[in-house]
Structure 1
Amino acid sequence: MLTFVIRRLIASVFVLLAATFLMYNLVAFSGDPLEDLRASQAPNREQLIEARVRQLNLDVIPPLRYFIWFGGIIRGDFGVSVEGRDVNAMLAQAIGSTIQLVTIATIVAIILGLIVGITTALRQYSGYDYAVTFIAFLFFSLPIFWVAVLLKQFVAIGFNDFLERNPVVPTNVIIGIAVVSAILWSSIIPGKFRRKAITALVAGSAATITLFYMNAVDWFSVPQIGIVGVVLTGVGAAFAMTAIITGLQNRRALIAALVTAAIGVAFYFPFMTYISFFITEWWMLLALALAAVAVSVAVGYFLGGHDRGSIMRITGFTGFITAFVIALDRFMQVWPAYANSGRIRGRPIATIGSSTPNLQGSLWVEGVDIYTHLLLPTIALILISFATYTRYSRASMLEVMNQDYIRTARAKGLAERTVVVRHGFRNALIPIATIVAFDIGGLVGGAVITETVFGWTGMGQLFVNGLNRVDPNPVMAFFVVVGGLAILFNMIADIVYAILDPRIRVS
């Protein structure tokens, strides 16, 4: 493994060197970085031109100037921009915003894409499969800048108008959502007509009751999950994780998961009334989340018995979901104060920028502000990536489920859950690893358009401004980061191959 990694790193260095040399010269030859100064009427124009020439080594031809730039890269110095700003500082500021945006969008798109893609493969040629296929191709064909504009108009402006008026879902909309929910779930759940009819009735009734309850408690103005919602989520996560990983017949696993959920619920009131007020930094919240997962895994370890590994996974996921819902409820508690503050004025869903200027508040207020600004660009990126992950995961799962070893597993009498989860799902992930590796680098580069539409000060703005000013250093900083991420995640994908498929060897 070590030999493989070293060999790939050496090859990647030569690829990156050739790519950066070509990119640097393309930018350098694309225009005149002194054009703004030559058109200036300032009395010290010549001195300004001479200073910029000295600062950026413009008296050296671009092919040789590249090696001066590369010498700085070896020392960790990306140089200065045409405005005299330190590119390292510009990159540090830009990469934080872009990584925040891309990370959330990628994680959500992967999870949703895998779930929907695999379920459509298992329900091949059903109404659910046809509907998802149509939606996936629709999103895949839409240009992201157009999707972004639609989100601004109908999600942000429309929802803000809804909040300013009477934030109550009309009865006809509730009926429409209930019908769609009934059709969706009845198409997902397999079985005969009677089972589908019961599923449709339960799904439609649940949607109707939920929306009427939200109207009754003015949920859109004062959102909350509450202790009842946390209990239902924790118990639901315990049953769901047990059903997926070991099956509900494993009572030991179900009991361990329910114990984990109970521990999370027991910490609800202490966290809300006492602990949360001492959390003032993001690293504190992250440390608390890691502690929650550690305790959950420990519960699985002590209650796991002979099937300890699987039960530890169940309790770990259950504890994480329960802790996440509790933290989400804490963020919701500050929503009314945030939405009605002087900086927001009742229109909380942001259409531009990555944060609200001069907003003062606690970590929880800051978190809500980050959410409202991340919402639209994240949805835009998710919709495009979701289509890709859905199609590839569906095709991969269909191919795997038709293999001989799947038929053998069924012939041995294994439960369908075991066949799908342990034999099918793991092998279906192998080609998805390649898509994820390419998509992460593509999202960082493709976020240029999204950031421009939504006015984010991220990597996209760094790249576009550098091109407009014929400024190679910021452009190369963007290029090195994107190229480095592409190389890194492709190497990770190769390593993941060996983990997922023992037949693959990287030596």
Structure 2
Amino acid sequence: MVRYLVRRLLLSVGTLVVSSFISFCVVAASGNPLAELRMRPGASQQQMDVLAHEFGLDDPVLVRYWNWLVGFMQGDWGRSVALIEARGDVFTAVIDAMSITVRLVVGAEILALLIGVVVGVLAAVKPYSIFDYIATGTAYVLFSMPVVCVAVVVKNFGVRFNDFLEVVGIDRWLSTAGAPSAGFTGSFGEVVFKYTGTFLLPTLSLALIGFAAYSRFQRSSMLEVMNDDHVRTARAKGLSQSRVIVRHVFRNSLIPVTTAFSLDFGTVLTGAFLVETVFGWPGMGSLLIKSIRQYDPHMLMGWLMVAGAVILLFNLMADVFYGVLDPRIRIS
């Protein structure tokens, strides 16, 4: 297992380096990051030449990539063209946006996984029951809806719920717009109240989509494992239904869900910009949109490297979980 992990880590690093080179070449060939600054009143050619030299735009692409890669590995991710007056640091901007998105996505994915697995197991244990039909119908509806539509519906519900609270004389609880606060003050109950009110709606918007996928994966996987030979053998030995489900079915049925969760977490982490846009959160999604609109090459590369590293990390975690969940899988 240790050799496998080392081999996979080396492969992941190599993949990240190759993808960074391809991304850098594409970003470098997309345009001039100083084009907008040239159009500002009072901008002189001498100032543009100084900035071009500072950003390395007068060097060949290979030299620019090598300088960027060396600086990136040393913790210097470069400067943002959009934040040039403020001496904006790419690392700080990406980490700040990442911290907001992580708080949103972690809660959403954990909530979706827990509810999805529980609903999927119950639906598989009693297939074609009323509960199964309700769970299946709900999952299909949510799965077919774009995440932006779910976010808009959830936000509208939050606005109406806040209006109801005001009618009965209670302060508005659910935050429907604006970035989350850096910290909450007050007693423990007040902190929990403010925290849940801030994160509940955007977290629920992402969790509903994930729940739909996880519940369907869990149900179909459970039904498939229930027909395996080792499950029939366990039943023939006289084991109770609950013991068969918990010890022989549930563990093996988690493999497809693990795959979906590992892949989904990485993509949701870097692609939650629709929910962030609806609720006005300056996370990774909004950072990507701003970087593309303003053509900020260093910011784009920082975003791409973080996104690639997260996806590779969770793919590695999925492969490790396979061997833990299913003893039949042997890592060679």
Q: If the TM-score is normalised by the length of the shorter chain, which range does it land in?
A: over 0.9
Gaps of 5+ in 1: 168-220, 222-345
The one-letter amino acid paired with 1:473 is H
Q: 2:331 aligned with 1:506, yes or no?
A: yes
AA partner of residue 164 (structure 2): F
- In 1, Cα distance between the equivalents of 2:113 and 2:64? 41
- Find 1:401's aligned residue among 208, 215, 226: 226
State the distance in 1 between where 2:47 and 2:149 align. 42
The aligned counterpart of 1:157 is: 159
- Contact 1:354–1:456, Cα closer than 8 Å, also in 2: yes
- Please tell me whether Structure 1 or Structure 2 has the larger radius of gyration of its CA atoms: 1
Report matched runs for 1:357-506 at 5 Å. 361-362=186-187, 364-506=189-331
Change in CA separation of 1:359 and 1:133 when aligned onto 2, cut-off 3 Å: closer
Residues 353, 373 of structure 1: 8 Å contact kept: no
Which range moves more in the overlay, 415-424 or 404-413? 404-413
How far has the Cα of 1:366 moved from its partner? 4.0
Which residue is 1:50 aligned to? 49
How much has 1:363 moved relative to structure 2?
5.8
What's the CA shift for 1:440?
Answer: 0.9
Separation in 2, partners of 1:358, 1:74: 31
Does structure 1 residue 5 correspond to structure 2 residue 5? Answer: yes
Contact 1:139 / 1:387 at 8 angstroms: preserved in 2?
A: yes
Q: In 2, Cα distance between the equivalents of 1:92 and 1:457?
A: 12
Report the Cα distance in structure 2 between the residues aligned to 1:408 and 1:357, rounded to whole angstroms: 55
Is the alpha carbon distance of 1:53 and 1:101 closer, same or farther for their aligned partners in structure 2, counting shifts above 3 Å?
Answer: same
Which segments of 5 or more consecutive residues in structure 2 lack a partner in the other structure?
Answer: none
1:328-352 deviations in Å (ceiling 9; x for gaps): xxxxxxxxxxxxxxxxxx2221112
What is the aligned-residue RMSD (CA, Å)? Answer: 2.0
Q: Say if 1:406 and 1:70 are closer, same or farther in 2 by CA, change over 3 A.
A: same
Query: How far did residue 362 of structure 1 move?
Result: 5.0
Which residue number in structure 2 is paired with residue 80 of structure 1? Answer: 79
Q: Percent same amino acid at aligned positions?
A: 41
How far apart are residue 47 of structure 1 and its match? 4.4
- Match of 1:494, SS state, is helix
Q: Does structure 1 conserve the Cα–Cα contact (< 8 Å) formed by 2:124 and 2:223?
A: yes
Preserved CA contact (<8 Å) 1:113 1:386: yes
Match of 2:125 in 1: 122
Secondary structure at the counterpart of residue 99 of structure 2? helix
Deviations 1:219-258 (A, max 9, x none): xx5xxxxxxxxxxxxxxxxxxxxxxxxxxxxxxxxxxxxx
1:20-419 pair list within 5 angstroms: 20-42=20-42, 44-82=43-81, 83-84=83-84, 85-153=88-156, 155-166=157-168, 221=170, 346-356=171-181, 361-362=186-187, 364-419=189-244
CA distance in 1, matches of 2:187, 2:220: 46
Amino acid at match of 2:22: L
Alpha carbons of 1:501 and 1:356: their partners in 2 closer, same or farther (altered >3 Å)? closer
- For residues 25 and 291 of structure 2, the distance between their equivalents in structure 1, rounded to whole angstroms, comes to 14
Change (3 A) 1:163 1:47: farther
Q: What letter is aligned with 1:60? A: D
Deviation at 1:356, TM superposition (A): 5.0
Structure 1 residue 353: deviation in Å? 2.1
Q: Give the Å deviation of 1:358.
A: 9.9
How far is the alpha carbon of 1:396 from its aligned partner? 0.5
Whether contact under 8 Å (2:218, 2:257) holds in the other structure is yes
CA contact (8 A) 1:57 1:65 kept: yes
Between the aligned partners of 2:284 and 2:188, the Cα distance in structure 1 is 25
1:359 CA drift (Å): 7.3
TM (norm. structure 2) is 0.92
Count the aligned residue pairs: 328
* Separation in 2, partners of 1:24, 1:371: 40
Query: Per-residue CA shift, 1:32-51, capped at 9, x if unaligned?
Result: 31122121112x54344234
- What is the Cα deviation at residue 71 of structure 1? 1.2
Following superposition, the deviation at residue 389 of structure 1 comes to 0.4
Measure, in 1, the Cα distance between the counterparts of 2:22 and 2:309: 16
